[in-house]
Amino acid sequence: MSQVTAQTLNFTDHSREDRPLKTTLWYPEELNLDYAANYSGEKHPLILMSHGSGSNRISLAWLAMPLAAQGYIVASPDHYGNTFSDPIPAQFKRYWERPRDLSFVLSELIRQYGPLIDQERIYAIGFSLGAYSVMALAGLNVDQNLIQKQEDETLPANVVVKMPEFGKLTKKVVEAKPAEVPTDLKDDRFKKVVALSPALGTGVNSRQQTKKVDIPTLIIAPGGDKIAPIDQNGRVYHKFLPDAIYQELPANVGHFIFLPAKKQPAKVDSFWYSDAPGVDRKQIHQQTIETIKNFLLS
């Protein structure tokens, strides 16, 4: 077990209108990134993490740190325009830019720190819309035509939105034209992916859309998820990915269980950080850490 060091880097993808990708790394403290070019020791597995919509790069730190202590290098970027501190609706609707963010950051990490990285052990873990992001890297193809059918802009305002994971911005997501959405975001450099509270399952309804997913996949879906309901999301992914490892948490466990645990969240934060009676967020985090460790080592 190693001590963990954290460092934040600033990348820019000039091919996408100078898209900024602030990225936090967690890694064993014995690694010196400044001397990566001269490193000749044991190579380390690398994990790319993808946060949920409206969250940020450190929201999965509870998971990143114990993995880094086990020898992983963990990298988590802010998805530009889709963070709590920098919400840009025009960027939010371009959900397909998120997998591209991860592929770009991976390329930069290999370019700058390649001697440290075991390129046969590169993985991705995502939460909510981040879970879609890593599934896209594995080969998932979401159908924007299906997504558009979930929300008819002519409906009155009091009609329940069928994609609650997008909340008030659902109409922005629906605005995206099917021709804008890439049909192939697969990145063969990733060898395993983990999807936590997966979203965007409303864009999947056939095995054809998952046929390119040919790497080990772990899906963990809360049974009481009201943001990305399992009938529309976790179970849909599992239906069309029958070889994936699928774990469904109890019916009283909600969507945000994979956000940080707080002892006494402020009232304004209770939506994200409060759980149903009997749900121990820290305990579920610990179970999730062990499940993911075992999956990545299998």
User: Is the CB of residue 213 less than 8 Å from the CB of residue 139?
Assistant: yes
Backbone angles phi, psi at 255, to 5 degrees: -55, -45
pLDDT tens digits, residue range 135-183? 999 999 999 998 887 655 444 444 344 555 566 566 667 778 888 899 9
Which helix (DSSP H) or strand (DSSP E) does residue 146 occupy?
helix 144-149
**Sequence-distant (≥ 6) Cβ neighbours of residue 274 within 8 angstroms:** 265
Q: Give yes or no for residue 47 having a pLDDT over 80.
A: yes
pLDDT tens digits, residue range 264-297? 776 667 788 889 999 999 999 999 999 999 999 9
Q: What tokens appear for 204 in the block? A: 């999947």
Q: Return the pLDDT at 155.
A: 42
Whether the full predicted model's pTM is greater than 0.75, yes or no, is yes
Q: Return the pLDDT at 158.
A: 44
Residue 50: what residue type? S
Q: What tokens appear for 280 in the block? A: 């121990």
Q: Could you tell me the CATH superfamily of domain 4-297? A: Alpha/Beta hydrolase fold, catalytic domain (3.40.50.1820)
Selection from 128, 122, 90, 118 nearest residue 105 by Cα: 122
Q: Return the pLDDT at 172.
A: 66
Q: What tokens appear for 242 in the block? A: 């029958």
pLDDT tens digits, residue range 21-33? 999 999 999 999 9
pLDDT tens digits, residue range 82-115? 888 777 877 778 999 999 999 999 999 999 999 9
Q: Which residues of 88-107 are buried (b: 16+ CB within 10 A; e: fewer)?
A: eeebbbbbbbbbbbbbbbbe
Q: Give the β-pairing of 19-28 and 4-13.
A: antiparallel
Percent of the chain with pLDDT over 70: 91
Q: Return the pLDDT at 164.
A: 57
Q: Return the pLDDT at 8.
A: 98
User: Is the CB of residue 125 less than 8 Å from the CB of residue 60?
Assistant: yes
Q: Return the pLDDT at 88.
A: 80
Domain ranges (residues) in the chain? 4-297
Q: What tokens appear for 282 in the block? A: 């820290």
Q: Give yes or no for residue 38 having a pLDDT over 50.
A: yes
Q: Return the pLDDT at 167.
A: 60
Q: Return the pLDDT at 170.
A: 62
Sign of the C-alpha dihedral, residues 16, 20, 24, 30?
positive
Q: Give yes or no for residue 237 having a pLDDT over 70.
A: yes
